[in-house]
Structure 1
Amino acid sequence: MLTITVNNLAFRSYLDELDGKLGDLTPVMEGIGMALESRVSERFETRSDPNGSGWSPWKESTRRTYPEDGNRRLLDRYGDMLASLNHQADARSVTVGFGSPIAAFHEWGTDHMDRRGMLFANPDAGTLGADDETMVVEMLSDFLDPGT
């Protein structure tokens, strides 16, 4: 599985506070993992990245050579990549990613293929999209102070 670290000081401060008060953060990490998986799955339907920008369509060369037995959907030829989307949570972290190694080519793009972000607003910086980041911070806040 490809491992990418999200670099965000707001997350770190929430996690440090949660860790100090609760110790085992597995429940909130599990919830974040499930929520991020759901958002990534939605991106396959909307064909848009974490910033809300639409994925680039296929290049004509791809369209011409696309296998007839595929489902003809962008990033979803046979459904294998989306089916490999998963998360793993523990007491201090959650990892969300794809079991399919080709996901990295789409997340970053290549010299011959446009980037079609699924997880990150900026994969090089390890940043989430604004809506995803807000959701994670809200989930951490709610877990820390369920009365709000």
Structure 2
Amino acid sequence: MADRITIAVQNLDLTRTLDRAVRRVKDTRGLMAHVGAAVEMNINLRLINKRDPDGAAWAPLAPSTIARKLKKGQTTRILEATGLMQQSLGYSAGQDWVEVGVSEPYGIYHETGTRRMPRRGFLFADHEAGQLGRDDQEEVELAIAEYLAGSLAGW
């Protein structure tokens, strides 16, 4: 017969810990804000680094676009003529939702591309399916795991 080890746990208020965890899991506004901030940061980095959500470099500007920008005295860096789109990047979060994006109306043309302009996506890996890129998906999963672990902190 195997020997037994007995561990006595004292001063463990299991009910209070579980009640706190349930309250925290029911109020997910903090989680949604954390997800929004993390994805916003990733998008901002993509706009700076000129890469799509899968890490691929954006298509270069057409020679005609470069010539037009130079004639106007503008930078030839993609999406930096005014900086308004990057400045309009933000997120909103609620109890069970989060929205991340840009408020400049021309952002959609860069995300989806047009007949005359290649797609230079920054929001979705697959914009038609609304699929996040790998880094964004990992950020969301990590935020959820940290949030749930935090709900039981002090256990």
- TM-score normalised to structure 2 length: 0.78
Return the letter of the residue paired with 1:37.
E
Equivalent residue for 1:52, pick from 51, 55, 63: 55
Match of 2:135 in 1: 131
Match of 1:38 in 2: 41
Secondary structure (helix, strand or coil) at the match of 1:145 reads helix
Match of 2:11 in 1: none
* Structure-1 separation of matches of 2:115 and 2:139: 33
CA RMSD in angstroms, aligned pairs only = 2.1
Match of 1:64 in 2: 67
CA deviations on 1:35-70 (whole Å, 9 max, x unpaired) are 111111111221111100000010111111125343
Match of 2:13 in 1: none
Structure having the higher Rg: 2
* Structure-2 separation of matches of 1:133 and 1:60: 35
Secondary structure (helix, strand or coil) at the match of 1:96 reads strand
Identity of aligned residues (%): 33
Q: 1:89 to 1:19 in 2, by over 3 A?
A: farther
Secondary structure (helix, strand or coil) at the match of 1:54 reads coil
Query: How many pairs align?
Result: 131
- TM-score normalised to structure 1 length: 0.81
Match of 2:116 in 1: 112
**8 Å Cα contact 1:81-1:99 kept in structure 2:** yes
* Structure-1 separation of matches of 2:118 and 2:23: 43
Equivalent residue for 1:94, pick from 95, 98, 122: 98
CA deviations on 1:81-112 (whole Å, 9 max, x unpaired) are 00000100111111001010100000000110
Return the letter of the residue paired with 1:32.
V
Alpha-carbon offset, residue 20 of structure 1: 9.1
Secondary structure (helix, strand or coil) at the match of 1:126 reads coil
Return the letter of the residue paired with 2:31.
V
* Structure-2 separation of matches of 1:19 and 1:107: 39
* Structure-2 separation of matches of 1:79 and 1:19: 43
Alpha-carbon offset, residue 21 of structure 1: 6.6
* Structure-2 separation of matches of 1:144 and 1:71: 45
